[in-house]
Amino acid sequence: YTGDLSVTLGGHTCLQWSAAEVQALIKRKELLPQVQLVKNHCRNPDGDMEGPWCYVKGAGGNITIDYC
């Protein structure tokens, strides 16, 4: 997925891929090199079978993955 959707199925706004807390989390994942992580757009950088996703900040401040 390479579009500009930045809101998840749960209605959450995606965090910027460049945010420090997101960068710390994606370092632990094996990502596909051809996927460009742009702004806060939904992407599928790890080939997840569920489809495009992004990181979101929950009510308690926890950062989790949510699908788009």
Q: Where are the domains of the chain?
A: 20-67
pTM of the model: 0.93
3-state secondary structure of 31: coil
- pLDDT of res. 1: 86
CATH architecture of the domain 20-67 equals Beta Barrel (2.40)
- pLDDT of res. 59: 84
Per residue of the chain (68 residues), what is the pLDDT tens digit?
899 999 999 999 999 999 999 999 999 889 999 999 999 999 999 999 999 999 999 889 999 999 99
- CA gap 2, 24 in Å, rounded: 23
- CA gap 26, 24 in Å, rounded: 6
